[in-house]
Amino acid sequence: MAMFPSQLLLSSKHLKERILQPLFEPHGVELIVSHGFDTDNYGTFCGSIPRIEGPKTTVKEKCLAGMSFANRRQGLASEGSFGPHPSSPFLSINEEWLVYIDLDQALEVYGHSISMDVCQQQTNHQRKDLDQFLTSIQFGAQGLVMKDADNGELIAKDITEYVQLMDLIQEHPHWILETDLRAHLNPTRQKNIEAAGKNLIERMRSLCPQCAKPDFSVAQYSGQLPCSWCKSPTNTYEFRTYRCAHCQHQLREKRMDLLMEDPQYCQRCNP
């Protein structure tokens, strides 16, 4: 049975098909973007429409809404978010979700990627630091949005050219520039969407040994690898448990990539 239909609906704006099409191509899939379906209803990065649900819920709703709009039984959708790192709040992370839904096969498979390579920066009407800022963010491929420094209101977006930027700075002396987080103007995000796409395809290829449905994936990590020096248990996991979402078949597997942990991660050797 084919993994995907030969034409697969992608509910997404901002040219994500350019990132994802090369991943689906080898599986004989042509991504179709439905025009007229406005995914911005599900929240935007400029803050004009707030997101209500978490990204995993949002991506599922977006996918189902797109499928219903285009009258399709299968669909793909993509959703990203930015936020503080859960354990190091001063660091930013970018989380990307993809979902593939197939109503005929009762499939709902997610691809996920988290990256700490985040191009989320701003600079504040300091003309002298501007050129360095533009170089550091790779301005051009990376787009900018300009906001009013006094009230935070959006002045302009889709800023990708130097002349255009200089004109805007002339007109608006109290500016803040922020990196555009939309996928087509954010190359670091594009890489992370690609990683989520690869994760989705990997899950689709991983079939349950019991029922042959896809997404036989790691559901749990357990056990504690011994320290290679003192042999006491560390916080590094020893087993992966794969679980089928359809028939609940489980398989616990000892990891073979690492048999003992380095003493630098041992609570006893390196407290």
Residues that bind Zn ion (CB under 5 A): 208, 210-211, 227, 229-230, 244, 246-247, 249, 263, 266, 268-269
| Residue with Cβ nearer Zn ion (5 or 263) | 263
Q: How far is the CB of 255 from Zn ion (least distance, A)?
A: 19
How many Cβ atoms are within 10 Å of 157's Cβ, its own excluded?
A: 17
Q: How far is the CB of 144 from Zn ion (least distance, A)?
A: 48
Q: Helix 162-171 to helix 127-136 angle, to the nearest 10 degrees?
A: 150
| Residue with Cβ nearer Zn ion (21 or 210) | 210
Q: Helix 16-24 to helix 187-205 angle, to the nearest 10 degrees?
A: 30
Residues 6+ apart with CB under 8 A from 87: none
Q: How far is the CB of 201 from Zn ion (least distance, A)?
A: 19
Q: How far is the CB of 229 from Zn ion (least distance, A)?
A: 5
| Residue with Cβ nearer Zn ion (19 or 227) | 227
| Residue with Cβ nearer Zn ion (85 or 231) | 231
Q: How far is the CB of 204 from Zn ion (least distance, A)?
A: 14
Residues 6+ apart with CB under 8 A from 269: 227, 229, 230, 263
| Residue with Cβ nearer Zn ion (1 or 163) | 1
Q: Are strands 144-148 and 175-179 parallel, antiparallel or unpaired?
A: antiparallel
| Residue with Cβ nearer Zn ion (120 or 234) | 234
Return phi, psi of residue 19, to 5°. -80, -40
Q: How far apart (Å, rounded) are the C-alpha atoms in residues 255 and 266? A: 18
Integer CA distances (angstroms), 126 to 23, 133, 162, 243, in order: 42, 10, 16, 54
Q: How far is the CB of 4 from Zn ion (least distance, A)?
A: 19
